[in-house]
Structure 1
Amino acid sequence: MDEDGEFAIPLQSEVLTIWQQVESYLDGLMQPGWRLWQVLIVLGLVAVAYLLRRVVAEVMTRWMRGQTGRPKWQLRSLVILRNRLGLIFFAVLAWATYLLMQELTWPSRSYLVGLAATIGTAWMVVSFIARLIRNPFLRKIVSWGLWIYVTLFYLGIWDEAREALDLLALEFGEVRLSVLGILTAIVVIGVLFFVARFVSQTTAARIQRNEDISPSMRVLVVKMLQTVLYAGAFFIGLKAVGFDLTGLAVLSGAIGVGLGFGLQKVVSNLVSGVIILLDKSIKPGDVISLGETFGWVTTLTARYVSITTRDGKEYLIPNEDLITGQVVNWSHSNSFVRLDIFFGTAYGDDPHVVRRVAIEAAAGAKRVLSLRPPVCHIVGFGDSSVDYILRFWISDPTEGLTNIRGNVYLALWDAFQANGISIPFPQREVKILEGADGAPAAIGPDDGPA
């Protein structure tokens, strides 16, 4: 609008035209005759549909509570259907009444009933289609926008309403933002987002099933595909309704400055995430250790890596920490992991026999690899025992490390008991020496084997 308010008169004229049409239409409906009867019939159908919806919805809810064994998508579809029973009943009743009136009376005496049936059916279709949009806010905007559009379209006043909404606008230099343009952009972008989401999910499912692509590259390709599709849907939606995209260049420059000063960590994590995906240093399914955290990688996102530990805890590690810190990847190039356990036996036991028994015991434990057989070596002579190290390999670190160590220790215990090999523990013997005056003179330790 300029300083003289040039568009105020056209806008008032359009609004006045719409109001006069609505007022004339309502006056005609209130006149005694078949128009009024049709209005009353439509209101009666609305009441009947509401009552049927309440009764059937309660019965349907009780029935669904007992369907615990059904897949989630089926139960979700039933819930969507239940929530739209009112529109479904109204559309069915309105069309049935319209067809019946067409047979029993003049076609002109059922025109409003047919119009109500058409609008009700359009509302029902819009309600089901809008449910495909996952974002609740965007779904409501698209639903209400399409409901208003189909109502005005079938009532025959859409052209006047469109001109009125287009006149209601703000201008910033060469940029003009009208209410019609904004509403159209929201609806178009919502529809394009749904298409982008459908294409993204379908393509991502195929990429994830492709065994020729490494897991990390699958994640990277899916993320890039989602970014391109959603960004393309957004800009195409703006362009489709006539928005000038040149102004976004200034906005993107301002966002770049803001990122440089205030979002350094966020950008660092984003870049680190791309590097991790490209160099394949960490991928879904890997078993890694970072500080005190040990677990396997479940998901890779743009900002963090999700690690699930054996006790069910899920740690969200920023991508930057994985790039700058020391990470142990137990399954980077392969899944083979070597484990060491230490034990000691008494000096009276033959070391050759001990080594053979220990190797046989470890080889018999579940998950210990036979293609890389265990080895046992003497590592020292202790105060109370001959000390050994037992080394063995596994190929499934995701199944846990503590449990396999425990199983091998238990196998050693059973094998030593069966072969008479003893595991010593320190003993201390205290001797009290009598002094000249009868008081204890000294206390000395004397360690010996068990």
Structure 2
Amino acid sequence: MFEPGSSDLASWLAALTQTGAVMELGALALCGVAAWGLAALMRRALRANQANSILFGQRLVDGVLFPLLWLCLAYVAQSLLLGRVPLAVFKIALPVLIALLVIRLGVKVMQAAFNETPLVRLLERSISWVAWLAMVLWVSGLLPLLLEQLDQITWTMGGAKMSVRTLIEGALTAGAVLIFTLWISAAIETRLLRSATGGELSLRKAASNATRALLMFVGLLMALSAVGIDLTALSVLGGAIGVGVGFGLQKLAANYVSGFVILAERSMRIGDNVRVDNFEGIVMQINARYTVIRSMAGRESIVPNELLITTRVENLSLADSQVWLNTMVSVGYDSDVDQVMHLLKQAALNHERVLREPAPSVNLAAFGADGLEFKVGFWIADPQNGSDNLKSLINLDILKSLRENKIEIPYPQRVVHLPVVVANPGA
């Protein structure tokens, strides 16, 4: 922009004090308002209200589309004003808009591709610092001089001659390629997982994971090529990785393959109620290496995917979401059996969560030591809302109903035999 020690800086300062600078500010502000309006219209037309949208964000200023439109309109305004007024404001505004666009793009892509972690926040700050530093060096005119000096620091790596400038440019190119790859994979994942449920959600999740892995692999190859690394040298590394997978990483590879198998065959889906190794809960996430199962008590179990493939898993929601529950009741032997069975069945039907079809069942399970033992069985369709709470409510209704009808709930009875002590007749 400005060469140090030249008259460019003085001419820029002189242009900044003229009335043309006011025209530039007005044109720049008009471009900002127009960009805001266009972004708002596009958001309303596309109905993009997701907070994690890369283009729009939660607010328009958070997304990538607003600074992109502002930058494009600013370039058009600069072309229209070029030759009519001495440009001063646009020489600063355009680099600032470019830096803002780079920061917004990097930050939103990182937030959409990964969860909020300290590493992601560190990368966001790094992108911001690099973008603003490059903008300052560009505006001040020091960037060409700095690149020229960095180009003088060279060394030889194998048959290639490297410099600090080449390394920095390659790293920036690699970062741009990876950000673009993550953007595409995040957009594909959002489109695939939108309004998907059950088995369809699992299948789309598998396609999303496979697409992201493929794009990341292609982006990594392009990034390595941009840095200047010969990809043919990776054949030895690939052989070493293959040997490592065959020996030390076979468990890790098995978990990744098992994850894709689970998602592809849909034997277990997000939202299913499963029991694995005496741990029962709802499948919350099916990742490439592990599956997260959340119990009704709020505990979460991280289960390796290989375990879900090689061991017995009870999926209570595979065919449907209906689950059978039961509770035991004991009454006295002199009770009216027909009345008891009617009261027990009615106690179960008093609750809306109990299904009417199939209807609750009451069976005389056993002749107990203390009384007649009945089993009350019933079906529910929402196991995610808990089962113990429903059992408790039904037991309370049973207790109330039996007491109102004066039906005995027997206490345990035990017969104690005491030895008879015969007094000594000679005493």
TM-score relative to the length of structure 1: 0.67
2:107 to 95, 111, 131: 131
**1:97-116 alignment runs, 5 A limit:** none
Aligned CA distance change for structure 1 residues 301 and 347 (closer, same or farther; 3 Å): same
The equivalent of 1:407 in structure 2 is 393
Q: Do residues 267 (structure 1) and 243 (structure 2) align?
A: no
Query: For residues 159 and 327 of structure 1, do their structure 2 counterparts lie closer, same or farther at Cα, with a shift above 3 Å needed?
Result: same
* 1:270-321 deviation digits (Å, cap 9, x = unpaired): 1221221122121100111123321101011111111111121111111122
> In 2, distance between residues paired with 1:142 and 1:356?
71
Matches within 5 A, 1:191-210: 191-208=176-193, 209-210=195-196
**Letter of the 1:279 counterpart:** E
Q: Following the alignment from structure 1 to structure 2, what is the Cα–Cα distance between the partners of residues 345 and 431?
A: 26
Amino acid at match of 1:364: N
Q: How many Å apart are 1:262 and its aligned residue? A: 2.3
Q: Which amino acid aligns with 2:301?
A: Y
Do 1:376 and 1:391's aligned partners in 2 also have CA atoms closer than 8 Å? yes
CA distance in 2, matches of 1:116, 1:210: 46
Is it true that 1:283 corresponds to 2:259 in the alignment? no
Q: Residues 356, 190 of structure 1: CA spacing in aligned structure 2 closer, same or farther, 3 A cutoff?
A: same
Residue 59 (structure 1) aligns with: none
Deviations 1:390-433 (A, max 9, x none): 21111111111211222221222122123222211113455756
CA deviation profile, 1:311-364 (whole Å, cap 9, x unmatched): 211111111221222221111111111112222110001222222221222122
Residue 187 (structure 1) aligns with: 172
Q: How far apart, CA to CA, are the structure 2 residues paired with 1:403 and 1:329?
A: 21
Deviations 1:40-66 (A, max 9, x none): x9xxxxxxxxxxxxxxxxxxxxxxxxx
Tell me: CA distance 1:430–1:116, structure 2 relative to 1, closer, same or farther (3 Å): closer
**Contact preservation (8 Å) 1:297, 1:308:** yes
Comparing 218-227 with 117-126, which one deviates more in the overlay?
A: 117-126
What SS does the corresponding residue of 1:131 show, helix, strand or coil? Answer: helix
- Report whether the alignment pairs 1:437 with 2:423: yes
Deviations 1:187-235 (CA, angstroms, capped at 9, x unpaired) = 2232233323332222222212246962221210110111122222222
Q: Is the 8 A contact 1:308 1:315 kept in 2?
A: yes
Look up the SS of the partner of 2:231 in the other structure: coil
- Match among 290, 296, 300 for residue 304 of structure 1: 290
> SS in structure 2 opposite 1:296?
strand
1:316 aligned to 295, 302, 311, which one?
302
| Counterpart residue identity of residue 187, structure 1 | L
> Cα offset for 1:369?
0.6
Q: CA deviation at 1:181?
A: 3.3
* Distance in 2 separating the partners of 1:279 and 1:37: 68
What are structure 1's unaligned runs of at least 5 residues?
A: 1-20, 42-70, 82-98, 440-450
| 2:350 corresponding residue in structure 1 | 364
Task: Give CA deviations for 1:81-120 in whole Å, capped at 9, x if unaligned.
Answer: 9xxxxxxxxxxxxxxxxx9xx99xxx7xx97x98666655
| Secondary structure of the corresponding residue to residue 228 of structure 1 | helix
Q: Is the 8 A contact 1:344 1:388 kept in 2?
A: yes
Task: Please say if residues 361 and 376 of structure 2, whose CA atoms lie closer than 8 Å, have aligned partners that are also in contact.
Answer: yes
Work out the CA distance in 2 between the residues paired with 1:323 and 1:436.
71
Distance 1:317 1:230, change over 3 A: same
Residue in 2 that maps onto 1:16: none
Partners of 2:424 and 2:270 in 1: CA distance: 75
Question: How many percent identity over aligned positions?
Answer: 29
- Give the SS at the match of 1:307: strand
Q: Contact 1:378/1:387 (CA < 8 Å) preserved in 2?
A: yes
Correspondence for 2:235 among 246, 249, 254: 249
Give the direction of change, closer, same or farther, for the CA distance of 1:256–1:354 in structure 2 (3 Å limit).
same
SS at match of 2:297: coil
The offset of 1:254, in angstroms, is: 1.7
The root-mean-square deviation of aligned C-alpha atoms, in Å, is 4.0
User: Does 219-228 or 258-267 show the bigger shift?
Assistant: 258-267
CA distance in 1 between counterparts of 2:275 and 2:149 reads: 64
1:154-233 matched pairs, under 5 angstroms? 162=147, 165-166=150-151, 168-208=153-193, 209-210=195-196, 214-233=200-219
Amino acid at match of 2:221: F
The 5 Å alignment of 1:138-153 reads 138-139=123-124, 142-143=127-128, 146=131
Q: Report the secondary structure of 1:214's partner residue.
A: helix
Q: What count of residue pairs does the alignment treat as equivalent?
A: 363
Q: Which residue of 1 aligns with 2:404?
A: 418
Q: Are residues 1:349 and 2:335 paired?
A: yes
Letter of the structure 1 residue corresponding to residue 166 of structure 2: G
Larger Rg: 1
Q: Tell me the equivalent position of 1:339.
A: 325
Q: CA deviation at 1:239?
A: 3.5
Q: 2:274 touches 2:281 (CA, 8 Å); kept in 1?
A: yes
Q: Which amino acid aligns with 1:435?
A: V
Query: Is this contact kept in 1: 2:171–2:227, CA < 8 A?
Result: no
CA distance in 2, matches of 1:322, 1:129: 39
Residue 380 of structure 2 is matched in structure 1 by 394
Q: In the TM superposition, what whole-angstrom CA distance separates every residue of 1:155-208 from its partner, at most 9, and x where no partner exists?
A: 667666556545544444345544333322322232233323332222222212
For 1:243 and 1:361, the matched residues in 2 are separated by 74
DSSP-derived class of the 2:358 partner? coil
